[in-house]
Chain A
Amino acid sequence: MSETTSDSPVAGATLGGAEEREPGFGDCSVSARVRTGPLVGPVLRRMVSIALARADWPLDRLDDALLVCDALSAHAPRHAQARRLSLSVKADGREAELRVGELGHAGAAALLREATLPVVGNVLEGIAEDVRSVREPGGGSTLALVLKTWSEPGPALSPTEALD
């Protein structure tokens, strides 16, 4: 996981009426602020499922994304800074970015750590192509994950390496 400083709220849909857009990114972006409680899981799953379905994602990756949602909604409420979480999704046909924000100072890192299962390893790092902890100006943190419809091809192996 890498750590960065926040400079870009999720484009296309920001709370409070202001709108920011990034050129080249798909139009399916939605953000929500949810009080910690039973609504977090259903809202995150529904935001992600409709955003990815609209972006025409394959079902297996949609399933993967919903696993990520389950892991996030199971642990994120414990790390919320003020009993609220900001959730955002933006997706196009190639990649999707999920952000869970308004976490405490070390909340994003703790959330990532807690998504580790025995034998399986870290669910978030296993499924997402990129996982970042973003430091927010107010002292909080956001966990940002990027998923792709299919993984980038790795470096080409030489014939002997491939046989090993």
Chain B
Amino acid sequence: MTPDMELALAARAENIAIVRHVLGGLGEAYEVPEEKLSDIRLAVTEACANVVVHAYPDGQEGQMEVVTTMEDETVTVLVRDWGCGIRPRPDSPGLGLGLSLIAALAESVQLGQGEEEHTEVQMVFSLKDPATRDAVSSATGQGA
């Protein structure tokens, strides 16, 4: 599946605003409800903030990529970096809520290592109305 958009930026705090702004283009181009777009932006902001804070320690310069794919009323967003990977960090300067927040906002979240030695967080967001989604899930016997 060809991604709709692959955005590449230096992994810096100030560039997270660019990601948020460019993601707003989804709402312009497709019928993404404003409320869902806000959830997507917030989750992606958290994932990008994790890259900025944790992926490249000791002031290293690094890269982050945000890859977005729209298919069947589902938006999949991958946030990638080429840093040190996801690992426990007792001295973390953050509150440690980022991944929990992402999990609460997205339908599913996967963390992993990619083929190019990159770390990626994959978030899937459904654009279907929750009531419709639940009805379909119960009709097909699948969990939400």
- Pairwise interchain contact B10-A12, C-beta atoms closer than 8 A: yes
Q: What are the residues of chain B within 8 A of A50 when measuring CB–CB?
A: 17-18, 21-22
Is B26 interfacial (CB-CB < 8 Å)? Answer: yes
CA distance A55 to B4 in the complex (A): 27
Name the one of A27, A32, A41, A46 contacting B24, with C-beta atoms under 8 angstroms. A46
CA distance A14 to B29 in the complex (A): 24
Identity of the chain A residue whose Cβ is nearest the Cβ of B83 in the assembled complex:
A17
Q: Of the listed stretches B46-54, B58-66, B87-95, B123-131, name the one at the interface; the rest are far from the partner chain.
A: B58-66
CA distance A84 to B30 in the complex (A): 17
Identity of the chain B residue whose Cβ is nearest the Cβ of A18 in the assembled complex:
B63
Instruction: Please report which residues of chain A, range 58-88, place their CB below 8 angstroms from some CB of chain B when the two chains form the complex.
Output: 83-84
Q: How far is the CB of B38 from chain A (nearest CB, A)?
A: 16
CA distance A12 to B67 in the complex (A): 18
Is B72 interfacial (CB-CB < 8 Å)? Answer: no
Instruction: Please report which residues of chain B, range 1-55, place their CB below 8 angstroms from some CB of chain A when the two chains form the complex.
Output: 2-10, 12, 14-15, 17-18, 21-22, 24-26, 28-30
B-side interface size class: 20 to 34
Is A117 interfacial (CB-CB < 8 Å)? Answer: no
Name the one of A16, A27, A32 contacting B5, with C-beta atoms under 8 angstroms. A32
Q: A13-B10, A32-B8, A38-B29 are in contact. Are A84 and B2 (CB under 8 A)?
A: yes
Q: What are the residues of chain B within 8 A of A38 when measuring CB–CB?
A: 28-30
Give A28-61 as 1s and 0s: 1 = Cβ < 8 Å from B's Cβ atoms.
0111111101110111011101110010000000
Q: What are the residues of chain A within 8 A of B3 when measuring CB–CB?
A: 33, 35
CA distance A50 to B9 in the complex (A): 13
Q: What are the residues of chain A within 8 A of B116 when measuring CB–CB?
A: 16-17
- Pairwise interchain contact A19-B61, C-beta atoms closer than 8 A: yes
CA distance A54 to B9 in the complex (A): 15
A contact set with B: CB distance below 8 Å = 12-19, 27, 29-35, 37-39, 41-43, 45-47, 49-51, 54, 83-84
Given contact pairs A15-B65, A38-B30, A45-B25, enumerate 6 new A-B contacts (beta carbons under 8 Å): A17-B118, A31-B8, A35-B2, A35-B4, A41-B28, A43-B5
B contact set with A: CB distance below 8 Å = 2-10, 12, 14-15, 17-18, 21-22, 24-26, 28-30, 61-63, 65, 80, 82, 116, 118
Can you sample 12 A-B contacts with CB below 8 Å?
Answer: A13-B9, A17-B116, A29-B9, A30-B8, A30-B9, A30-B22, A31-B9, A39-B4, A41-B29, A43-B5, A43-B22, A47-B18
